[in-house]
Each structure stands twice: as structure tokens, then as C-alpha cells.
Amino acid sequence: MKKKERRKVKQKMNKEYELFINILTEGTSPYHVIGFTKKELEAHGFEKLSMKQSWNLEFEKNYYVEAYGTTVIAFRLPKKDQMVPTEEKSDPVIRLMASHTDFPNLRIKSNPDLKEKVYAKINTEVYGGAIHSTWLDRPLAVSGRVSIRTKNPFAPEIMFYDSKRPLFIVPNLAIHMDRETNKGKAFNQQTQLIPIGSLSEDNKGFMEFLAKELQVKKEDILGFELGLYDEEAPIMMGMDEDMLSASRIDNISSVSASLEAMIRDNEAKSLEVSAFFDHEEIGSETKQGAKSHLLQDVLKKVYESLGFSSDEYMRAVYGGMALSVDVAHAYHPNYSEKADLTNQPMMGKGFAIKEASSQSYTTDSEAIAVLKSICDKNQIAYQIYANRSDIPGGRTLGSFVSSQLPMKTVDMGVPILSMHSARELMGAADYRYIREAMIAFLNA
């Protein structure tokens, strides 16, 4: 391929993945993922609602609800006669997509400042199932939210913070001092994953630094939820530039595809809902997680506000369909023994439909048939993923959502390598496939 032709391909690729690359770059904490999501929703006419207020909804309008800064539920209303199933209308009247906004990383603890000789350090803990070794020797920035004292104790000021430059690093130990390191090593999370931030004798610690950055008094910082992130930008890479290397592909790839599906121009044929949940990586059992009553309460409030009965709401739920959208494990060419014998999704060959008889992935054959039919009709590439029978996989949002909202559900996602590493890898084309599948699901 000539250099000029390659430049055109790269420009087209960057344009096609522009929103995805932007949210990967800006979404350095769940708060920033939601901030980006809200900005895009509002730019496309979505109106913000509060669960603490009464709603005056209008058909064929778009709305969203924010919960605790890290979860958003957005919905698009169709015409009135498309909200409840009838004998003539068998298509799902609720079409739901669920993804999550959090990701494994190192979180900063309260009273974080540590000092050892000339080294200024911070106290951290591991959030989620991170691969510890991948966080070493990387330039780490800080991002999240901070609560500031006000005159009203029930209403602290919330400030969002992103250092946008590396502040810390967790240095590895030289092989000369640990000759066994290449034979595999477990890291002590409390002592060996502690980041270094300064060598200055005059350094007054991270809290003083944070107060200066936010231009507030140190004593007015009452709390924070801050995490470390790999500061290096997402890159298209490979000899054919067909791979994407980035932090937080799990699960911002799904958030981005869901968001693009919601802000498309087509009118809604059903009640379209996209739930962007926090805390999936730690079990979802929180007030803004998928195991909370939040999504159920939002949908009930929608139907009640529009004058539908409880019976009509229940019929709509049981006649609905959901997509649980989270990444999948791609076939790893260096660890082929870890793959299932017959279901081995490859990067770049289509999104993965995830199956498990244990229902850790909630997909069933009827739901699969629906999604496959939609994709086949629109010529969208997909693959099947299953865990090896002797290697149990993790759970997704699907089992939590469908247990509270009993509707057909498909677990699906982009197949990736290096899942839960500080930096992950995917086939660039798979983002297009999963985005197109979600749009086709809503348009069908």
C-alpha cells in the first residue's frame, strides 16, 4: 500500500472511531466516563431527570437519569402505541442495553501520604481483578472526584479532577535482587504496589498537592474517590494498523457503542434504554450497580409518568429484550490451551456472543436466534464464545439485570486480549461490528 493511500485509510479509521477514541482518552475514571456520556446525550437532545422529582414526559422525546455520579440510564420514548405489547405486536417494546463504566485499577486510600527517606509515596488498594504486574513501571496519572466542605453539611461541593500528566510510578525490583522474578511472582498489594510520587525533601505530600491543584484548603477536602490510570494515549497499531491498544477497553468499548446507538438519528420503534452501570468489577452490589433497584425503578417511573397501568408495565417487561454488553476473551495464540475446543473468537473477525450453561452469561437459544437473525440480515460479523469447561469465567451484568427484569437477554462483547491489564488489546474492526449490531437491534 502506498504511503498516500495508507494515510487516507488511517484518516478514515480515526473518523470512524472518533467517539470511541475520545471517550477512551477522556474517560479516565467512572466519573469522567459519565461526564463524557452526559455531554454527548445532552448535545443530542436528551433531557436530564431526577429520581427525586415528578416527571412530565412526552412521547418521542429523549431523557436520562444520573445516579451518584458514575451511573446513567438513558432512554428514548417512541409513540404511545409502541410502549405496550399486543397480539399483533410481538416485537420487544422495551429494548435494553447494559454496559459498565468502571475498570480495574489502583485506588488511593484516605490519609494517603507516606514518607520513606527521600521518597514521597501514597497508600493505595487494588480495585477489581487487576493484573498486578502490568501496573509496574508505567507513568500513572490521577483521576476521579473530590468532596469539598461547604456551609451546608448535606451538600458538599463535588469537584472532578484529572491530573492529565503522570504523577506516580510503581517501580519494579531489579532482577539482580530477585533472580526468581521471571519464574512468576505474586505482589504484596499493601507493600509492593505502592506508587512513588516525589524525591524532594520539601514535598508536603499528595493531599497538599491536590489542594493546590483544586485551589482549595487542604482541611476543606472531606473525601475523595481517586484512582490511578495509565497516562499513555490509545493507539492504532500493527503492521496493517488493524489493532487498538488502550487502557480501559473493558468496558468503555461497550459504553461507547451503546452511546452511539442511543444518539443515532433514527426514531425510536420501542422504549430504548441504555444503562451505564458502575461497580461491575466489584460485584455490582451497590446503590448504583446493576444489582440495585435503580433500573427497575426508572422503568416503573417511566410507565407510571406516562399513565400506563402496572399490568401494562409488567407486560412490557416480559415482552422486552436486553443486550448485556461486556468484553469477551479472544483466542490467545500464545496460550491456545486456555481456549474452548470449538468456540474460539478471534480479534478482528466480529463481536462475540457469550454462552454458558451456568447462566453466568444469560444468553439462551431463543435470544441468540433473534440477535443472529438481525446480524445476518445486516451482514454484521459475529462469533461465539464459551469458556473451557475446566476454566470457569466471570459474571456479567446480564444475570443481574435479567433477574430483576425477566426478559430475553444476550451477553455479547468485543473479543480482547490482555483483559484487566493496565493496557488491553482489541481488533479495531470489532468496534464497528458491535456498534452496528446494537444499532440494528434497536432499528429492527
- Model confidence pLDDT, tens digit, residues 228-259: 999 999 999 999 999 999 999 999 999 999 99
Judge whether residue 394 has pLDDT over 80. Answer: no
Question: pLDDT confidence of 16, banded at 50, 70, 90?
Answer: confident
- Cβ atoms of 23 and 33 within 8 Å: the answer is yes
> Rounded to whole angstroms, how far apart are CA atoms 239 and 54?
55
Q: How far apart are CA 369 and CA 334, in angstroms?
A: 33
Considering Cα of 138, then 165, then 71, then 24, what sign does the dihedral take? negative
- pLDDT exceeds 90 at position 397: no
Higher pLDDT, 372 or 200: 372
Query: What mean pLDDT comes out for the span 185-202?
Result: 91
Write down the pLDDT at residue 129.
Answer: 94
Write down the pLDDT at residue 12. 54
Write out the CATH class of domain 105-230: mainly beta
Q: In this structure, what C-alpha cell is assigned to residue 365? A: 437459544
pLDDT at 4: 53
pLDDT in tens, 39-98: 999 999 999 999 999 999 999 999 999 999 999 999 999 999 999 988 777 789 999 999
- For the chain, what are the domain ranges? 3-103+247-443, 105-230
pLDDT at 366: 92
Residues 325-334: tens digit of each pLDDT: 999 999 999 9
DSSP annotation of 168 reads B
Give the pLDDT band of residue 5 (cuts 50, 70, 90): low
- Whether 358 shows a pLDDT value over 90: the answer reads no
Average pLDDT for residues 347-367, to the nearest whole number?
Answer: 89
User: Does the structure show a pLDDT above 80 at 9?
Assistant: no
pLDDT for the residue 231: 93
pLDDT of residue 294 exceeding 70, the answer is: yes
Whether the predicted pLDDT of 3 surpasses 70? no
- Tell me, what's the pLDDT at 426? 97
Q: What pLDDT, on a 0 to 100 scale, did the predictor assign at position 399?
A: 83
* Residue 381 grid cell: 460479523
Residue 2 in this model has a pLDDT that exceeds 90: no
* pLDDT computed for residue 44 by the predictor: 97
pLDDT on residue 10: 53
Strands 71-76 and 62-67: antiparallel
Beta strands in 117-195 (DSSP E): 119-127, 140-148, 157-162
Q: pLDDT exceeding 70 applies to what percent of the chain?
A: 97
Reply yes or no on whether the pLDDT at 113 is more than 50: yes
Report d(CA 247, CA 420) in Å as an integer.
9
Task: Report in angstroms the alpha-carbon separations of 283 from 287, 379, 399.
Answer: 12, 35, 12
pLDDT at residue 381, rounded to an integer: 98
Give the pLDDT score at 380. 98
Helix residue ranges per DSSP H, 378-427: 397-404
Cα separation of 329 and 308, whole Å? 42
41-50, 135-144, 362-371, 435-444: range with lowest mean pLDDT: 362-371
The confidence band for 354, taking pLDDT boundaries of 50, 70 and 90, is very high
Question: Average pLDDT, stretch 287-316?
Answer: 94
B/e letters for 402-415, b = 16+ CB within 10 Å, e = fewer, are beebebbbbbbbbb
Mean pLDDT (the chain) is: 93
| CATH superfamily, domain at 3-103+247-443 | Zn peptidases (3.40.630.10)
Could you tell me the pLDDT band of residue 277, with boundaries at 50, 70 and 90? very high
User: Taking residues 253-278, what's their average pLDDT?
Assistant: 96
pLDDT score recorded for residue 1: 46
